[in-house]
Amino acid sequence: MALSLCVLVLTATVVACAMSAVLPVLSEGDVCRLGDGRRGLCKPLSQCSPAIQKLRQERIKPIHCSFKGFEEVVCCDDEFSQRLRKSELACREYVNELPLRVNPFIKGSQDAELGDYPHMAALGYVDPSEPSQVDWNCGGSLISDRYVLTAAHCVVPTSRTKPPVTVLLGAVDLNEPGFLAQKYHVKKWIQHPEYSTATVYNDIALIELDRTVKFSENIQPACLYTKSDIPDLGLEVTGWGLTSNKRSSKSPILQYATLSLVPNDKCNESYVSVRRVNRGVQDTMLCAGDPQGIMDTCNGDSGGPLQVKTTENNAYSIVGVTSFGPLCGGSTPGIYTRVNKYVDWVESVVWN
């Protein structure tokens, strides 16, 4: 039996050697595509029972990923890959393509460099009285090759506001986006079914773009943070909003700042008398701020991400969506829509 398996492994390895020059190289643990289009995980052949069984019984060669030493790594249709959420599988697939890097109103922040936040999106609005003028009034996060995650209040029209019409990707400077930036039209927007403009609850929405996004070094989707525990360290906010309470302080350069998580019960103390938070800060929301009251999100950062870079894949995961705050800076933390509470809804739209 052991000899038979060795022959099968050797046969598959020889065939894979001939094909390796034309197939993309995927490492162990990467997401791959099975023959029927479903996602699998790359594993050493000796650890992939379904592939061994097909080799023995049907003489079907597995899809090649790469090599680990002298053993072939194949695309495995295992139980673990089928247990992963659709968004988690998509995340693993995006991470395969991430380039290697050396290196809300955001007050007290710093300028970002091109490519630092390749998922960052700017939402453009047009005033019918001035159709040639685009105002970039909200942010968002690219989460797939067709969808941007943002706040519902950024897309739902009111008596004073219109929905966005365009999305800019791959830019840091809104005044001079550069030739590497890409513009897309808004095909449609989908607000969370339980959102109401009267409150800040369920303040989350998706924008479907008019065509498939071309990924590049400066344009890559972010992952969704699906875990229940929220990290207290490394939370970053990004946006083109105001950098102070003055109306003229809006930044054309993408800003970033690091914030700390604030427990919901403590955060609730700051919002007890705020009408739009009349049911208190709930578990579908989270709060973050700067203990020194310097850095914060501000007008124009709405819809942008509260994000963390995970150590296991060096990719950004969206923890929250910038939603609400009474002032820029100060002791009052900002409110963010808690993404892990809405993953089911997001998956039902984006990866249905």
Predicted pLDDT at 19: 42
> Which positions are catalytic?
153, 203, 302
Could you tell me which residue, 106 or 48, shows the higher pLDDT? 48
Q: For domain 223-340, which CATH number applies: 3.40.350.10, 3.40.50.1370, 2.40.10.10, 3.30.365.10?
A: 2.40.10.10
Give me the residue spans of the domains in the chain.
30-84, 120-209, 223-340
In words, the CATH class of domain 120-209 is mainly beta
Please determine, for residue 106, whether its predicted confidence score (pLDDT) is greater than 60: no
Angle at 106 between CA 276 and CA 204, to 5 degrees: 45
Q: Which residues contact 271 (CB under 8 A, 6 or more apart)?
A: 277, 280, 281, 335
Return the sign of the alpha-carbon dihedral for residues 282, 88, 119, 211: negative
- The pLDDT score that the predictor gives to residue 6 is 46
Predicted confidence at residue 64, as pLDDT, reads 95
pLDDT digits (tens, 9 = 90+) for 231-273: 887 899 999 876 554 445 567 899 998 999 999 999 999 999 9
Q: What percent of the chain has pLDDT above 70? A: 81
Highest average pLDDT, of 51-60, 178-187, 239-248, 302-311, comes from 178-187
**Closest among 45, 50, 88, 51 to 70, alpha carbons compared:** 45
pTM: 0.79
* Domains 120-209 and 223-340 fall in the same CATH topology: yes
**Listed ranges 3-12, 208-217, 296-305; the one with the highest mean pLDDT:** 208-217
